[in-house]
Amino acid sequence: MTADVERIRAAYSRFLRPGRILLTGHSHQAWPDVARDAQLEAFDDAAEFVDHKWERAVFPLVEEVGRGLLARMGCASDDAIAFAESTHALLVRLFSAFDHRRLRVVTTTSEFHSLDRQLRRYAEQGLYVRWVDAEPRAGLAERFVAALESEARAGGPVVAALSAVIFEDAWVVREVGAILDACERVGATPVVDAYHAFNAVPLDWGPAVRSAFILAGGYKYAGIGNGLCWMRVPEHTDLRPADTGWFADFASIAAPRVADGVVLSRPVGYGRGAARFAGATFEASAFYRARAVLRHWDALGLGVAELRARYVAQTRRILDGLSDRGVLGEGRALGRVSADDDARRGAFVSVRHADASGLSAALRERGIWTDSRGANLRLGPAPYVLDSEIDVGLDVLASLVR
């Protein structure tokens, strides 16, 4: 049963304060109070168990959190999952498993900076990258598949890297299942950024999800906070990341390195499944927060479908509200960026303005928290945001741009 908004708001007493309206649910979603309690629990477990906290508390916690995250991704809860402090760390580990002299990467011109910047740097060192124009959004999936098929014919390993929901305007790539099918057909490795989909937009992965690497994190719509990202890993992958931490083969930590004064020469080993993408010692408190927040969503009756319905209604209210106020559309102060089609629009709204960053700053001065990316002002509601707060934010925005 879907919870009412006042009950939801009661769970965010630390973040929800008089005099400010948080339309930042797409970037830094508020943390529920249980996340603070979880931080203290992490400290208390460390004080109780000291270095035995790993086997007594943390490792079982990691397993529980992994199952919960996978279920909310629309994946099987027993799929393999690897963790890191950022999606960037996971991307670097994954790409380090390929020979960049032979690899061909197909991606789009609208990927988040973690991937875009790293691929551009790799390209400076000789990696071949095929950039598929993400504009216009209509036809993007078809152009991507065509480029993928072309590069696969050229020979050598191919990685297909794209977002399920685009960070600039919340465009939902509904054809992600068909793209995964194409990857499987041509033998490419799919890498999907699902950060802007997790806990906000259900995705139909299709059967070819079995071969997909899918990345997401807890900072945006999950309300978990920073320091916890993850990658769903295909079950039978045999990739050997060159960027590898000691947790990637935890079972062999005590293996001898020297025999009779001679350094033993043996291949670097890897654990099973997702363990091969592990790093080194990690900050455990993020997993405490994750468990608490996942239970928080369940207790409120807010599964992904329920959250999706709320986001659709809230983003529709923003678009219609700006149109009704006469400031959005052709020849108006704000240009339409996010899709009008509810099925193509994720969990926030982007509108275009020549000085989007200045406009965001002016809104902040008036207690309306937003953000911007280039010429796009982004407005991100959340389950704890009242319709009346959205309306106040739109009134202020309209007054500023008239």
For residue 92, what is the domain's CATH number? 3.40.640.10
Instruction: Mark whether 208 and 345 lie in a shared domain.
Output: no
Residues 57 and 191 in one domain: yes
CA pair distance 115, 328, nearest whole angstrom: 32
Residues 370 and 394 in one domain: yes
Distance from C-alpha of 52 to C-alpha of 148, rounded to nearest angstrom = 48
Q: Percent of the chain at pLDDT above 90?
A: 92
Do 148 and 240 sit in the same domain of this protein? Answer: yes
Whether residue 174 is found in the same domain as residue 108? yes
Q: What is the pLDDT of residue 309?
A: 98
pLDDT recorded at residue 44: 97
Residue type, 169: D
Q: Is residue 353 part of a domain?
A: yes
Q: What is the mean pLDDT of residues 193-197?
A: 98
**Are 332 and 248 within one domain?**
no
Q: What is the pLDDT of residue 385?
A: 98
pLDDT above 70 coverage of the chain, percent: 98
Other CB atoms within a 10 A radius of the CB of residue 102 amount to 12
Whether 361 is covered by a domain: the verdict is yes
Each residue's pLDDT tens digit, 78-91 = 999 999 999 999 99
In a domain, 324, yes or no: yes
Structural domain tally of the chain? 2
Same-domain status, 248 and 332: no
pLDDT exceeds cutoff 70 at 194: yes
* Residue 257 confidence (pLDDT) above 90: no
Distance, CA of 209 to CA of 180 (rounded, Å): 7
Element (H or E) spanning 372, and its range? strand 371-373
Domain carrying residue 335: 5-30+303-401
Report the length, in residues, of the chain. 402
Same domain, 72 and 218: yes
Report the pLDDT value the prediction gives residue 30, as an integer from 0 to 100.
97
Note the Cα 99 to chain centre separation in Å.
Answer: 26
Residues 281 and 164 in one domain: yes
Q: Which tens digit of pLDDT belongs to each residue from 93-151?
A: 999 999 999 999 999 999 999 999 999 999 999 999 999 999 999 999 999 999 999 99
pLDDT (average), residues 175-199 = 98
Tell how many helices (H) and how many strands (E) occur in the chain: 12, 15
Q: Is residue 295 part of a domain?
A: no
Whole-number Å distance between alpha carbons of 148 and 144: 6
Residue-wise pLDDT for 260-304, tens only, equals: 777 767 788 898 889 999 999 999 999 999 999 999 999 999 999
Same domain, 231 and 330: no
Please tell me whether residues 61 and 14 are part of one structural domain: no
**Domain end: 253, 285, 317, which one?**
285
Q: What helix, strand, coil percent values describe the chain, rounded to 5?
A: 45, 15, 40
In a domain, 217, yes or no: yes
Domain end call among 285, 320, 349: 285
Which pLDDT score, from 0 to 100, does residue 1 have?
A: 39
Q: Domain holding 370: CATH number?
A: 3.90.1150.10
Bridge partners, 232 (sequence order): 81, 214
Based on the domain organization, do 332 and 356 belong to the same domain?
A: yes
Region 169-181: mean pLDDT is 98
Mean pLDDT for the chain overall: 95
Closest CA to 328 of 310, 353, 311, 359: 353
pLDDT at 356 (0 to 100): 98
pTM over 0.85: yes
